[in-house]
Chain A
């Protein structure tokens, strides 16, 4: 019998790989979890003042990287996990892994920037030297130990204990070269081990952007924002478009003309003003971005659904089905849904791509999710400025977007096949 890799094999493979690659990180976050739990009993108010999403995120992902493969192993008989691995499920599993395990997979803060003259626009697989400065010695106490671990686990966007350099020379003082410039550090500020300064190298797997930020970790954190914003607003559009389209098309008459005219109105309404308004009123949060993008994209979906429903309800087979006394829900699921599903899915796939890119346009106007999160759209947008110098800025996020769209497209096809089983023949 031939061996086909199945979905659960792949899930376990990814989890194991991450586990091995980030072993130190997982150990540290386990220690931090233990320390936190201990401190809860000593001074609960302190612990609660420390807990927030940034704190819990890495701890949870460290836990999940162990829990998920265990669950997959236990439940590997289930239908989804038994699926033969193909392109679509591969992309979906990787995206899900990035989405859930971002802090673990990324390894550094997506906004981390330091020594721009050294790190600006580095091509993929670049390495830079890292010089470690002496940090204040810690008095051993519970809280200090907690902070020590926290600094290791919760990645910050800055770090004053390291210096990036193109090259390091150790003489009486330590000399760094940063973009052709020479910077000296007195010995007493440098961390020494075995009589020589501690110098490590940092690898930028996919290069750096114009602010010297690591593209790899931005791409992974970007998966979060792009999936979340994309799916969220597509959902909003779909609900609005399909529901209104059906409400307008099915009974027809006054309701139809009312809703249709209102839709025309929304098409003409200046979207940018709408966006500015919503964001000014409700703040620049992810929720308002999702709402704004979802709300400005449902109109063509509405048109499709309404048009199809109208032409359908005059078709002979539909009329006979209705006369045969099918209930409304059955009519909807058995007759209407299969017909409209193909154009609706195409529309949603495009809508998804649209939304991710529109989010970029929003970021361009400064109205997007802000600099607190990276997003693929914003990465592509800023990359176009450096097209002739730094292809990697645009290539990786665009590829990520392309694969996601492709997977979404295939997924859409599968859903279509599910509703219209004839297609399979």
Chain B
């Protein structure tokens, strides 16, 4: 126990290193697993080259150039060799290196996810704090029911409804896309304004469900912590309610949320398929799903790798945060 408590920076960095290494090994194993699974699973990447307008010989040539005719092991060898040079190969559909394709889609997804994540967490937190003063009071009941109602509405319904209200009827926001056609002729402020205008509806759509989730977790945890005996003890000792809430209740209530938040942020980085489709946004969700549906093997592997790395990072961040709140469990959590 004593030893663990004094685990200093050195100990933590060792733990971190171990964990990152383990994560990378697992990621590599998963990519390998996926590599074989993709090729064994039904479906054929050269399918789009079979059509009445094309010569039957073309599909055979294409298969050859995708290297799909050689043995699985040979294909794997080439893949690993390329991977060791940081090369995921060339996307079958886009015919440019996978890294380049992902480079076009990832920045948007990261920015979009972070904005939504911050909004989800802060709105959820504000709402939970708003009701916590009188748990089971009227405002708690209303907000709790409303949050479930929001949750029962899937994001595609919210998205379509928002478009209907704000673009079709009120004509305030554009209904799709990331920027206007004349974007390149705008000055700096107009550009930013154009982005903001386009992003309002998608951000609301993607954030709505998340707000409900975080609110619910926080509210229920707060309720529970308030009823814990140690809070009563503190009250009995004459501590101010504000101090109790800030110093003791909130930290305790937030801790299970952190794990969820880490997972959720990682998933957000994987892309928000439905929101992207409704609002025609260039994100990772659409990219990955299209890659899967068209059996673009290198692109699927690339997308999985990137989202795997991001998930590892967010989970690590979540665990670090959790460990920071409770020093005693550093070792257990970071394991």
Interface residues, chain A, CB within 8 Å of chain B? 249, 252-253, 256-257, 260-262, 264-265, 267-270, 272-273, 276-277, 280, 299-300, 303-304, 306-308, 310-311, 313-314, 342-343, 346-347, 349-350, 353, 357, 360-361, 377, 380-381, 383-385, 387-388, 394, 398, 401-402, 405-406, 409, 420, 422-423, 425
* Per-position 1/0 for B173-216, Cβ under 8 A of A: 00000000000000000000000000000000000000001001
* Residues on the A chain within 8 Å of B27, using CB: 264-265, 268
Contact yes or no, A381 B263, CB < 8 A: no
A310-B332, A357-B154 in contact; A267/B266 too (CB < 8 A)?
yes
Instruction: Give the Cβ gap from B326 to chain A, nearest Cβ, in Å.
Output: 6
Contact yes or no, B263 A267, CB < 8 A: yes
B217 within 8 A of A: yes
Instruction: Please pick, from B37, B157, B221, B264, the residue contacting A300 in the complex, using a CB distance under 8 A.
Output: B264
Instruction: Give the Cβ gap from B291 to chain A, nearest Cβ, in Å.
Output: 9
* Residues on the B chain within 8 Å of A264, using CB: 23, 26-27, 308, 311-312, 315
Binds A, one of B77-85, B91-99, B113-121, B254-262: B254-262
Tally of contacts, chain A with chain B, CB under 8 A: 161
Contact yes or no, A270 B303, CB < 8 A: yes
In the complex, A402→B149 CA distance in Å?
6
* Residues on the A chain within 8 Å of B326, using CB: 311, 314
Complex A-B: 12 CB contacts under 8 Å: A256-B335, A261-B25, A272-B289, A273-B38, A273-B292, A303-B259, A306-B259, A307-B256, A310-B332, A384-B156, A387-B160, A405-B151
Chain A residue nearest to B228 (CB atoms) is A422
In the complex, A343→B219 CA distance in Å?
10
In the complex, A24→B228 CA distance in Å?
58
A267-B267, A384-B156 in contact; A304/B260 too (CB < 8 A)?
yes
* Residues on the A chain within 8 Å of B29, using CB: 265
B153 within 8 A of A: yes
Instruction: Give the Cβ gap from A133 to chain B, nearest Cβ, in Å.
Output: 40
Contact yes or no, A402 B152, CB < 8 A: yes
In the complex, A270→B288 CA distance in Å?
8
Contact yes or no, B217 A343, CB < 8 A: yes
* Residues on the B chain within 8 Å of A277, using CB: 37, 41
Contact yes or no, B256 A343, CB < 8 A: yes
Number of interface residues of B (CB under 8 A): 66
* Residues on the B chain within 8 Å of A383, using CB: 157
In the complex, A388→B262 CA distance in Å?
37
Chain A residue nearest to B1 (CB atoms) is A314
* Residues on the B chain within 8 Å of A299, using CB: 263
Contact yes or no, B42 A398, CB < 8 A: no
Contact yes or no, A346 B26, CB < 8 A: no
In the complex, A267→B42 CA distance in Å?
23
* Residues on the A chain within 8 Å of B258, using CB: 307
Instruction: Please pick, from B161, B164, B216, B229, the residue contacting A350 in the complex, using a CB distance under 8 A.
Output: B216
Instruction: Give the Cβ gap from A359 to chain B, nearest Cβ, in Å.
Output: 11
Instruction: Please pick, from B41, B160, B304, the residue contacting A268 in the complex, using a CB distance under 8 A.
Output: B304
Chain B residue nearest to A386 (CB atoms) is B160
In the complex, A278→B213 CA distance in Å?
29
B145 within 8 A of A: yes
Contact yes or no, A257 B19, CB < 8 A: yes
Contact yes or no, B151 A261, CB < 8 A: no
A343-B220, A380-B157, A406-B145 in contact; A260/B335 too (CB < 8 A)?
yes
Contact yes or no, B148 A304, CB < 8 A: no
B274 within 8 A of A: yes
Chain B residue nearest to A277 (CB atoms) is B41
* Residues on the A chain within 8 Å of B43, using CB: 276
Instruction: Please pick, from A261, A267, A361, the residue contacting B22 in the complex, using a CB distance under 8 A.
Output: A261
A401-B152, A402-B149 in contact; A388/B216 too (CB < 8 A)?
no
In the complex, A314→B307 CA distance in Å?
33
Q: Which of B27, B41, B267, B329 has the most CB of A within 10 A?
A: B329
Contact yes or no, A405 B148, CB < 8 A: yes
B126 within 8 A of A: no
In the complex, A394→B260 CA distance in Å?
30
A253-B335, A380-B157 in contact; A402/B148 too (CB < 8 A)?
yes
Contact yes or no, B216 A346, CB < 8 A: yes
Contact yes or no, B160 A384, CB < 8 A: yes
